[in-house]
Structure 1
């Protein structure tokens, strides 16, 4: 089977008409959640994913709200809570120069422009204007690196290597 990628987690239902509340793990929610797109729902207690076709998408507070074709009642979608929504690799679009999917960045080793190893990227936060990469060093606490051109100088996905120029105090 084709490799699958997380796009969101169902955290709750919303209302009584089969809407579900999703915490998105995609930068492309408007494209990913378009009417007619297919998502695959993975749940702990099911061995096979459930194929779902998006009927409607809207944003409410900090959540993406989705309804699926054939699911128009809260009782039908209540069992989806805690499930992970995924898409196959073939649904991933091509990105512009300097853009990367989270799964390409997570796991990369980070070095300074002087060759010092900092650690491995374990998570990407999306708090606002720019992404923040969480780096787990061999010792000590996590290092947070903003993904901005002044700091991130080279991203080599093929070799899982990232070179940064740390600003003063960033690695302290």
Structure 2
């Protein structure tokens, strides 16, 4: 029996724009504008996964604004502020040699010397580089600890084994 993958968050609705129900769109896609190419685009609204029908969109002040079908006035659109935009995982493009952030979540992180630093629980984008959020296991002799490790290939990240769920880093453990 095949397992249906959970939809992937690729953006969210921001503040209402104007009086006719337009909303700002925060895109998490590599090419921000590509968020409008995913079909179907989904949202979790009123406890249910629903298809989003964007009737118009445009670039406005270094961001995007969009008109959502059936949300025609500011007060209606206000209900969507903060709602995440999702896409079925099989709609994401295949990557040749790289991986998605979601592939890194749950990976064990070890140093080149074999010290276990913890598990990747999140990723952050800082503008200059991506950062792994690594939490030490409660079994760790040093207690629960969170480390932020820059995702800089070769300099910090020695190896990423997605299949083995292991990331090896050139990083000194901070005791």
TM-score by length of 1: 0.81
- CA drift of 1:148 comes to 0.6
| Pair 143,15 (structure 1): closer, same or farther in 2 beyond 3 Å | same
**TM-score (norm: length of structure 2):** 0.80
Describe how 1:141-156 pairs up with structure 2 within 5 A: 141-149=145-153, 150-156=155-161
Post-superposition offset of 1:65: 3.0
2:86 is the alignment partner of 1:82: no
Instruction: Report 1:7-46 matches (<5 A).
Output: 7-34=10-37, 37-43=39-45, 45-46=46-47
* Corresponding pairs, count: 165
Distance in 1 (CA, whole Å) between partners of 2:5 and 2:115 is: 37
Pair 12,163 (structure 1): closer, same or farther in 2 beyond 3 Å: same
Cα deviation code 1:85-137 (max 9, x no counterpart): 1100121112242x321211111110011111100111111111210111011
Match runs of 1:47-66 below 5 Å:
48-54=48-54, 55-58=56-59, 60=61, 64-66=64-66
What do you get for the CA RMSD once the two structures are aligned? 2.5
Larger Rg: 2
**Unaligned segments of structure 2, at least 5 residues:** 138-142
- Residues 7, 85 of structure 1: 8 Å contact kept: yes
> Structure 1 residues 123, 60: CA separation in 2 closer, same or farther (over 3 Å shift)?
farther
